[in-house]
Structure 1
Amino acid sequence: MNSFQSFLAAIFFLVALSVCGQQTPDTTNDYKKRVLETTEIDFLSSYYAQDGDNAAVTGGIGTEELTDITGTIVVSVPLTDDDVLTIDAGVSAYTSASSSNVNPFDGSGPADSFVASSGASQADTWVNLKGAYSHSSDNRNDMWSANASVSSEYDYFSLGFGGSYTKLFNEKNTELSLYANIFLDRWKAIYPSELRPFGTGGIGSFRASEIMGNTDYNPNFTEFDNENRNSYAIGLGFSQILHRKIQGSLALDVVQQQGLLSTPFQRVYFSDIEDAFVENFQLADDVERLPDSRFKVALGGRLNWYLNERVSARTFYRYYFDDWGIKSHTASIELPVKLSDTFTIYPSYRFYQQTAADYFYAYETALSTEEFYTSDYDLSEYAANQFGLGASYTDIFTKMHLWKFGLKSIDLKFYRYDRNTRFNSSILTAGFKFVSY
C-alpha cells in the first residue's frame, strides 16, 4: 500500500469513528440546528486533455499535448453543533508531450519540438492535502475558519495557510467576508537539458559534434539564485439579497507574489542569435526571465436570478490587471434548468480576453539585450471561449447506500475551451456526495 492509499485508509477510519461516536442530542436543551448535520464525503474526479502549437517549454513553438487524471476526496465532519473539520486530499497524474521536451534527447526517436520525448520528463504526479476548521456563532451570523495545505510534485513544493471571517446581518440578507492566504513555495529548478552544462557560468559543451547551424553554440546562461516563491492574498466579499428572486455579490482579490516567478525549464529563442540544432530540435538561447515580483488585482461581481421554479440564471463578470501589463475581462453565464425534483441540467458559456504581458515575445522575436522575456502564450494577447454542460442528480431520501453512507448527489460536467492561439482543451468532471446516516 502506498502512502496516499494509507492516508485514505486513515481518513475512512476517522470518519467511521466520527459516525459511530456521534452522541444522541440532549433533548432537555433548547434545539439548535447544527451547521453540518452529518458527516459528508465527496468523491471528485476529472479527466483533462489539451493540445496546441505554442509550447512554452520549446520557446513558443511545438506541441502542447497533455492529459491529466485527478482524483480527490473531501471529508467534512461536524465536531460539534458549531464546528466543522474538513479534510481535502487529491492526487493528479499527468502525461505531457510538452514537458517531455525538457530533455528531448532522452527518448528513442530523433528530438523534435512537435514530437513528445519518451523519457522520464514526460510524466509527473501532484499530491495535495488540505485541512480546514470552521466555527459558527450560536445565531449563525458570524463564522471564522482557518486552513493549512501542503502540495508536492517532482520539481515543486508548496506550503499554505490562511483564514477567513464572514458576517451576516440585516436578517441574513447581507453578507460581508474577508479572507487571507499565504503560500510559501519552493522550486527544485530543472533546466532545459542543453543548457545544464553552461549553468555554472563556465564553458560548457553539448554534443558539439552533432550541432548544426550555429556550431559555436555557447549560450550566456546562468542558473537562478533564488528558488523560492511566496504569494500573499487577501480578499473582500459583499453579498446582498436584492429581491426575493435576485441575489448580487461583489468581490475584490489582491495578490502579491515575490521570488522565482519564472518557470526554469521554459525556453526562449532570440532573434539576434544564430539558430543551433541537434537532430530536429532547436537548442535554447536562454530560459524565460521574469521580474521577481508581481502585483495582481481582480474585481468581480455576480448576479443570480431565480426566474421561476424551473429556470434560474447565474451571471458573472471580472476585471483583472497586474503590474506586468496584463488586463483581462471575464464574463460567464450559467442557466440551471430543473427537469424534476431530482434532475437538473446547466448549460454554460464563458468568454475571456486579455492583453499581453510587457515581457511576452513570440518565437524568435526577443532580443538578447532585453532584461525580461518569455514565450509563454499564457502571457500573450488572446481571446477564449468556453462552452459547458452539466447535469446533477439529487437523491433526496438517500436511497442508495455505500456502507454507512447514503448517496446525496451526483454531478457530471463537461467543458470545451478554445482560444485564438491555436490552443484547445476539454475537461470531464464527476462528483459523488455521500452523507452518514
Structure 2
Amino acid sequence: MDYFVPLQFDNRPIKLPIQITGYKFNCLWPLKEDASVLWRLFNNVCLSVSVLCYIGTILGEFTFIAENISDIPAVAECLCTSFMGVQYIIRIFVLLSRQRPLRQLLRNFYRDIYFTDADDAALCKEINSIIRFINIFTQFYYVPMVLILGLYVYEVASVGMASPDKPFIYRMSFRWYDAQAPLQFIITAIYSGWLTISCVTIWTAEDYTLCMVLCHASFRYKKLRLDLEQLLETARADLRSGETRCTNLNLHIAFRRRLCDIFQRQQRLNGFVAEAKAHFTHQIFYVMSFGVLLLCVVSFQFQSSPISVEWSKYISWIISQTSQFLLIGYFGQMLMDETTELRNSFYCCRWEDLLALGDLRSNKLLLGDVQFAIMNSQEPIVFDGMKFFPLTYSTVSSALRSAVSYFMFLNTMSEN
C-alpha cells in the first residue's frame, strides 16, 4: 500500500496504534509523496463514496425532522446524529486540505519530538504510563459504536426482515425511494452502519493524535526545565571532561554555551508546536462547539427515554463525550503549565552563582543571554480552537456547564 509511514530519528518505521487506523479506514491518512496514480484514484473514489453516504444520511434525517417537528424527543435524537454528520463532513474536508501539512507534522514529530529511552529513560517510562491512560480512554470510544450496531441488529432480528416497519440505525425518512424494500433496506443498513464506524474511528484517531502530540511536546519542555536545573553542574562537567582549563572565564563560556543550546532547542520545539497548533485548531473547535450540543442532546435522550437496553447506548455516549473533554483538556493544560514553568526555570538556572566569578564583560554577556531567554518565554503556549476555545481546564469546565444549561432548556421545551 502507498500510505505514508513516519520514521524515527534513526530511520526506523513507527508501529502505528490501532486508533490511527481510523484515518486509513476513512481514506484520510496521507499517501506517500510518490504514491501511484491508481492508488490515488482508488483512495479518492472510496472517499467520495464515504462523503455521499454522509450526505444521504443527513438528508434523510432532515426530512425526518421536517415531518416530526412537534415530537421533541424524536427530533432531539435526530439532531444528535445530524450534528455529528455535519461536523464529520467538515472534518473530512479539512483533513483532505491538510494532507501535506499532516505528513510533514508527523514526520517532524516522530523524528524530533517523539520520546524514546535514548532521550531520557525515566521520562520515557513516565510518558508510556500516560500513553496507556490515553489508550484506555480513546479505545472506550469504540463502546458506543459496538452498542449501537449490536442493538440495531437485535431490533431488526426481533421485528423480522419481512416487517414493513423495520428500524434504521438512524432516524431517517426517504421520499425518493422505498427504503423498506429488501434491497434498498440492505443498502441503507450497510452504509448507515458503515457511517457509525466511520464517525467513531475518525473521532478516535484525531483525539489520540492530538493527545499524543501534546503529551510528547509537554515532556520535551519538561526535559528543557530539567536540563536548566542541572545547567551549572553540566557546564562544570564539560570543563572536567574536556581539554579546556577549569577557569572562571571558561566556566562562564561553558555555561553560556549550554544555555544557548537549551534556548535553541526551545525555539525548534516552539516551531513544531506552532505547526501543530495550526493543524489541530479546527479539530479543537469542532470538539468544543459540536461536542457541547452532542452531549446536551444525548443527555436529553437518556433522561427522556424509558428504562430499556438502549440506556447502555446513551450512557456510553455520555461517558465517551465527557471523557473526550477531560482528556484533551488535561493535555492542553499540561502543555500550558510546562511552558509557563519554563520562564521560571530560565530565571532559576543558578546564573547568579557565576556573577562573583566573572569580570564585568562576562557578567554582562551572561545577564544579556539570561534576560533574552526569559523574555522569549514570557507567554505560555496554549492550543486553541480557531482562537475561540483555549484548550485549558477552565474552557472544558465552561463547555460542560454550557451542555448542562442546554440540557435544562431542552427539558423545559419538552415539558411545555
TM-score range for the pair, normalised by the shorter chain length = under 0.3
- Higher relative CO (Cα under 8 Å, sequence separation at least 6) belongs to 2
Q: Which has the higher strand share?
A: 1
> More helix per residue: 1 or 2?
2
Normalised by the size of structure 1, how large is the TM-score?
Answer: 0.20
